[in-house]
Amino acid sequence: MGDLYRERIVAPEELSAVLDEAMRDALPLGCYATKRTVRTLLLSSLGVLALRTSMREGEEWESLAFRYPFFADHEREMRALQGIELRSSPDIRPLYFRSDAIPEAIVANGKGVSVVVVGPVHAGIIEPGRFTMSTGGESVVHLDAQLSYSHRALEPWFEGQHALALVPKIARICGNCSVARSWAYARAIEGLAGVELDAGTEFARLILAEMERLHVHLFDLGNIAAGAGYGKGTTAALGLRERINQLNRAVSGHRLLFDSIVPGGVSAGTLSDPASARAILREIREDVVRFLDAFFAKRSVLRRLEGAGIVEESLARRFGAVGPSARASGIACDVRALAPYGAYRGFSFAEVLTHQGDVYARTEVRRREIEHSFDLLERALRELEDASLPMPLPIAAPSGIITTVVEGARGAESLSLSLDGEGRVERLHVISAAYRNWPLVTRAMEGNIVPDFPLVNKSFNLCYSCVDR
Amino acid sequence: MAQRRFARSLAIRHLVCGSCNGCELEMNALAAPQYDISQEGWSIVASPRHADLITVTGPMTEAMRLAARRTLDAAAEPALVVAVGDCASGEGAWCGAGSAGAGAGVELNASIVVRGCPPTPDALREGLRAAATLLDERNS
């Protein structure tokens, strides 16, 4: 069964009403433009639906961001890269900039308001972003997050290149969601080429994706511990993550699993010894469970997490939030359950949901997803013991348009690909889970104290590179 | 005495110039108990003014160029620049792609280059040891 992708033509003036209807039972993924055609993407159990809206020459785009805030950055991106003019917009600042013309932050005005700025270069080992906090006393009144410092204009650069030549590049758009994106890209190419994979290869891909989730989630927990001043927890989580990274290297040749999923299969030599991987994972799992039990027994730490950085469900919905950040606010959005792909189709899947929407809830979702990943890995590795993985299938020149979605550690990772008759890229667009969720970080900080910014921020722990591209 | 005791310690400031975050994941691994760079007398510091060396990653972006230069200018002499990863070294996936630069370490005249996409923690440790040796030589 291939990936289901459908398009529906919608006039600009009808888009808002059509979206209202479609969003009742589908997850909005965002939108993107190719020249003057805008595609708004939705995901449901039926697959991906693209609402295709064509703009006439000289016609301006009526912003939908007032109604659906998740459109705001997409619209700024369409203006910056495709030159589509916006008739109205809640944020008219340029999305991309040179370092001598950085947009001014939006700050609060009023008696007693003072402004704290951090970044773009940070004290820790993290990606660049400038955070401007308007504060009243200790509380944050407004947080302005200026991203785009990692913008490299990659998408225009992809155009005209052969899709298969870009495979190692796609794995490097972002280090945190490399496997998820490589999988989405492979599925896009396979979908366009009409290639079906064997069961063993699908299990191998699921294993690689769950290994990525494990090392990212463990790192996130270590960072949350750091934000709460729980040093022992940080060290323990880093140690456990390192063991996953070493296992990654053993099963794929790469500590972060880069280049392990390729169009047509998985790279040669991947998962050559599933039995020993399973044995090592069991050992790691015992220690991870011990770490999680200790973490969740520390009342003084948990008290720091509870009630911090609350995201209400309605807010998360309006912003089209995805991944653990949305599930912690009670929104079912796990692509593995909503629109299963690959070997997830064969596994019954209970999505992890909590409802408080605070740092604690986001931590709890990860805890349960880690346990869930170990279960999936155990089953999939057992399946692989009786299978031998074939070499990647050859792909004949694919052509056409498709969007595929994979559940990465941060949530839905979408990839839209349009190829000409010779397999060259006409358009390659990435909507990362972090792109969806960044606005939540700024809202979650409102009313919280400045010293909690690292804690609240790390409870999302969003990437920048796949957002900025 | 002080020279001998502290000579090989390093205060490291990390500067990200458009990396994919893979190098950052591995730089962070250096704090894991398996590597624990604090045992080497190395620490990640919160200001370039405290730094002996600046580790840089990424191909360099238009938006980061000025902030990167200012970070280097703020560091006390003789601060070393260490290029971490293939992008910073000028050979990575994104060097020269789109609006990306030729490599942050190339643009900022790195004295030490640590290759890898990303470099392993072991490779990073080797590179940092080489940097400590170089700083020793310059200070003696």
Q: For residue B68, which residues of chain A lie inside 8 Å, CB to CB? A: 121
In a domain, A307, yes or no: yes
Summarize pLDDT for A274-327 with one digit per residue, the tens: 999 999 999 999 999 999 999 999 999 999 999 999 999 999 998 999 999 999
Residues 174 to 203 of A: which have CB under 8 A from any B CB?
A: 174-176, 178
Summarize pLDDT for A140-153 with one digit per residue, the tens: 999 999 999 999 99
Q: Around B97, how many Cα atoms within 13 Å sit in the side-chain half-sphere?
A: 28
**Cα-Cα-Cα-Cα dihedral sign, residues B42, B47, B52, B57:** positive
**Contacts A–B by Cβ distance under 8 A:** 144
Q: Are B115 and B103 in contact (CB under 8 A)?
A: no
In a domain, A139, yes or no: no
CA nearest B60 in A: which residue? Answer: A150
Is B32 within 8 Å of chain A by CB? yes
For residue B79, the model assigns a pLDDT of: 87
Residues A58 and A173 in one domain: no
Averaged pLDDT of chain A = 94
Residues A273 and A379 in one domain: yes
Summarize pLDDT for A390-442 with one digit per residue, the tens: 999 989 878 999 999 999 999 999 999 999 999 999 999 999 999 999 999 99
pTM of this structure: 0.95
Does the distance separating the beta carbons of B71 and A173 come in below 8 Å? Answer: no
- State whether residue A194 is helix, strand or coil: coil
Every domain of chain B and the residues it spans: 2-133
Summarize pLDDT for A2-17 with one digit per residue, the tens: 568 999 999 999 999 9
In a domain, A143, yes or no: no
DSSP readout, B31-95?
TSTTT-GGGGTEEE-SSGGG-SEEEEESS--TTTHHHHHHHHHHSPSS-EEEEEHHHHHT-STTT
Q: For residue A233, which residues of chain B lie inside 8 Å, CB to CB? A: none
Which amino acid, A240? L
Q: For residue B14, which residues of chain A lie inside 8 Å, CB to CB? A: 124-125
DSSP A342: G
Q: Is the pLDDT of residue B3 over 80?
A: no
For residue A384, the model assigns a pLDDT of: 93
**Class for the domain spanning B2-133:** alpha beta
- What stretch of H or E contains A460? helix A453-460
Q: Are A208 and A260 in contact (CB under 8 A)?
A: yes
**Cα-Cα-Cα-Cα dihedral sign, residues A409, A360, A461, A143:** positive
For residue B9, the model assigns a pLDDT of: 87
Domain of residue A269: give its range. 155-468
Percent of the residues in chain A that have a pLDDT greater than 90, as a whole number: 88
Phi, psi values for residue B31, rounded to 5°:
-90, -10
Residues A287 and A432 in one domain: yes
Per-residue pLDDT band at B2 (split at 50, 70, 90)? low
Last residue of a domain, one of A52, A73, A88: A88
Does the distance separating the beta carbons of A245 and B97 come in below 8 Å? Answer: no
Per-residue pLDDT band at B96 (split at 50, 70, 90)? very high
Q: Is the pLDDT of residue A1 over 50?
A: no
Residues A83 and A173 in one domain: no
In a domain, A113, yes or no: no
State the total domains in chain A. Answer: 2
DSSP A76: H
ipTM, 2 dp: 0.94
For residue B4, the model assigns a pLDDT of: 57
In a domain, A150, yes or no: no
Average pLDDT over residues A333-353: 92
For residue A3, the model assigns a pLDDT of: 65
Which are the contacts of A8, defined by CB distance < 8 A and separation ≥ 6?
A: A18, A49, A50, A51, A52
